[in-house]
Amino acid sequence: MKRKDFLQLSALGVGAAMIPKWALAGNPIDPLVALQERMDVGMKKQLADVALNTAKSKGASYADVRIGRYLNQFVATREKQVQGVANAESFGVGIRVIANGAWGFAASNNVTKEEMVRTAERAVAVAKANAKLLTEPVRLAPQKGFGEVSWKTPIEQNAFAVPVKDKVDLLLKVNDIAMQAGANFVNSVIFAVNEQKYFASTDGSYIDQDIHRLNPSFGVTKIDRSSGKFETRSSFSSPVGMGYEYLIPSAAEKVNGIVTRYKNRYDMLEDIKNAAADVDQKLKAKSVEPGKYDLLLDPSHLWLTIHESVAHPTELDRVLGYEANYAGTSFLTLDKWKSGNFHFGSKHVNVVADRHQYGSLGSIGYDDEGVPAKEWDLIKDGVLVNYQAIRDQAHIIGLKESQGCCYAQSWADVQFQRMPNVSLRPGKDKLSVDDMIKNIEKGIYIMGNGSFSIDQQRYNFQFGGQTFYEIKNGQIVGMMKDVAYQANNQEFWNSCNAIADSRDYRLGGAFSDGKGQPTQLNAVSHGCSTTQFKGINVINTARKIG
């Protein structure tokens, strides 16, 4: 948006406070469009050059600058009321340098030429202090500069341009449906993110990006007062790298079955109806008998298992020990990769990393150190074949260039290795979920993500879910509860014996995946089709207190 447009919209905004409440509701342009005010790209380039030149003159051998404006909008409701409507805006600059062979970083919320100089100087000073403890200088994989380029999430409708009233109306309607269906409590939220990021480096790149994410969700609760028990069900939506179009239902994007699930368009009003009915069933469901079951895992559930058990252990920084003090290391050590013969999973298991799937949270044009979006295999026919790397790690696994996995959650944080989208490829042969159910004698069909926990090297995990259907002799016979499964990671993926074909493929995702010290959040998607695992240990989680 140009500066002139912004001034006009601001004027509208001023007027908005003076006119009667809700009079703006029908206006196609919400005054909050003003949030899209952007600093002119030419100005950003000038400021970035000041920082890059300062860093070089102070002795930096490499420098990058990220000028970022980060916008969040949050609309939260419960039952009949709006709990909060908030817009957050954060603008600033982060400068990263290599000096005397060591990294240094400094950030400031004051984006002026003078502050660019000071911040670049601070970054160089930090690098020089760190260089005293250096054992090996940083080796940065080469990256050609792209000159002045730009990239934008392919959205159809900017969520920040949709009137707040529309969002509130949708959420209160969701809540009303739940309450009509006998819910005791319901919370619903729409969370929109826009990262306006400008990256420049001494490699000669000046990259302007406009990245959009949306996360609509709800949770519904019913209480059985007599027993004091309650059950909940959360939405089967996914956080997405899309605009508000995700919330416009489309029959073509629905996956029908025992309950409706969703691909690239979400029907929140339908899902809440189904959720309220699910909670009724959960309250009456039988408690699971612990033991071995075949698991049929829906993408609304399996994305999280992929995230924890495949995506995290293939992060190269974990493998190398950089995360040893917090997130942990990885059982997928370099010797296993070098052997070329480490069977992470069965032959059905093919896992791919990418930064460009439509609608995904990890979709970008360039990462936060100027590397373009790519795609590569992590697990091929069950065998570990690659990791996720950034520029200063590429040489360790013999790569000539980075895979583009560098990300910082804001201008104030230093960028480091974060996971791209990591997805399980669908089955190659035609196979429907109904066909899979027919082949299961004793199983549990799990939807939605629940409790999750995994050790610091990613060997042992435990996952819950939202809803659990018992499968007996090829048929779904009813709902179960108190279900969690525990497994050894490698054994689990080697027990994978069927994957539905691409017709069932969907993305799930984590809107706020934490890693690093200080902790930073990353948003990432994981795609898969419904997948079957044979003979997995299921425990019963029911307990009694008081």
Partner 1 sequence: MAILTREDAKALLEKVLKYSKADECEVGLNGSESGNIRYARNAVSTAGDISTLGLSVTSYFGKRSGTATINEFDDASLEKVVKRSEELAQLSPENPEYLPLMGPPATPFKESPGFIPATAAMTSDQRADFVGKSLGVTKAAKLEAAGYIENTAGFGSYLNSKGLFGYTKSTDVIFSVTARNAEGTGSGYAARGFNDVRKLDTLSATKIAATKANGSVDARAIEPGKYTVILEPVAGVYMLENMFRFDARSADEGRSFLSKPGGGNRLGEKLMDEKVTIYSDPFNADLPGNTWTRDAQHLEKTNWIEKGVIKNLSYSRFWAQKKGVEPVAGPPNIIMEGGNTSLEEMIRTTERGILVSRLWYIRMVDPQTLLLTGLTRDGTFYIENGQIKFPIKNMRFNESPVIMLNNIEALGKPERSISVESYRSYLVPPMKIRDFTFTSLSDAV
Which CB, 255 or 447, lies closer to partner 1?
447
Which CB, 76 or 476, lies closer to partner 1?
76
Burial (Cβ within 10 Å: 0-12, 13-18, ≥19) of residue 60: buried
Residue tagged 């949050």 (tokens): 74
Strand 185-201 relative to strand 205-224, pairing: antiparallel
Q: How far is the CB of 370 from partner 1 (least distance, A)?
A: 18
User: Residue 270 corresponds to which tokens in the numbers above?
Assistant: 């339908």
Cβ pair 53, 121 in contact under 8 A? no
Which CB, 260 or 460, lies closer to partner 1?
460
Interhelix angle for 268-284 vs 164-180, to 10°?
30
Q: How far is the CB of 204 from partner 1 (least distance, A)?
A: 24
Burial (Cβ within 10 Å: 0-12, 13-18, ≥19) of residue 344: buried
Q: How far is the CB of 203 from partner 1 (least distance, A)?
A: 20
Q: How far is the CB of 132 from partner 1 (least distance, A)?
A: 6
Q: How far is the CB of 72 from partner 1 (least distance, A)?
A: 9
Q: How far is the CB of 360 from partner 1 (least distance, A)?
A: 25
Q: How far is the CB of 207 from partner 1 (least distance, A)?
A: 22
Three-point CA angle 60, 61, 66, nearest 5°: 70
Cβ burial 191-224 (10 Å sphere, 16+ → b, else e): bbbbbbbbbbbbbebbbbbbbbbbbbbbbbebbe
Q: How far is the CB of 272 from partner 1 (least distance, A)?
A: 18
Strand partners, 353: 376, 422
d(CA 323, CA 329): 6
Q: How far is the CB of 305 from partner 1 (least distance, A)?
A: 14
Burial (Cβ within 10 Å: 0-12, 13-18, ≥19) of residue 133: exposed
Which CB, 443 or 464, lies closer to partner 1?
464
* DSSP letter (8 states) at residue 289: P
d(CA 136, CA 495): 42
Q: How far is the CB of 377 from partner 1 (least distance, A)?
A: 25
The H-or-E segment that residue 197 falls in is: strand 185-201
Q: How far is the CB of 226 from partner 1 (least distance, A)?
A: 7
Strand partners, 423: 352
60 closest CA partner among 203, 190, 179, 208 = 203
Which CB, 157 or 462, lies closer to partner 1?
462
Which CB, 146 or 342, lies closer to partner 1?
342
Which CB, 468 or 505, lies closer to partner 1?
468
Which CB, 136 or 251, lies closer to partner 1?
136
Which CB, 391 or 458, lies closer to partner 1?
458
d(CA 80, CA 184): 12
Burial (Cβ within 10 Å: 0-12, 13-18, ≥19) of residue 183: buried
Which CB, 473 or 519, lies closer to partner 1?
519
Other CB atoms within a 10 A radius of the CB of residue 40 amount to: 10
Identity of the residue numbered 12: L
Q: How far is the CB of 320 from partner 1 (least distance, A)?
A: 7
Three-point CA angle 115, 119, 120, nearest 5°: 115
Which CB, 30 or 294, lies closer to partner 1?
30
Q: How far is the CB of 375 from partner 1 (least distance, A)?
A: 27
Which CB, 261 or 458, lies closer to partner 1?
458
Which CB, 227 or 341, lies closer to partner 1?
227
d(CA 192, CA 213): 6
Which CB, 123 or 272, lies closer to partner 1?
123
Q: What helix, strand, coil percent values describe the chain, rounded to 5?
A: 25, 40, 35
* DSSP letter (8 states) at residue 311: I
Q: How far is the CB of 291 from partner 1 (least distance, A)?
A: 14
User: Is the backbone of residue 400 left (phi > 0), alpha (psi -120 to 50) or beta?
Assistant: alpha
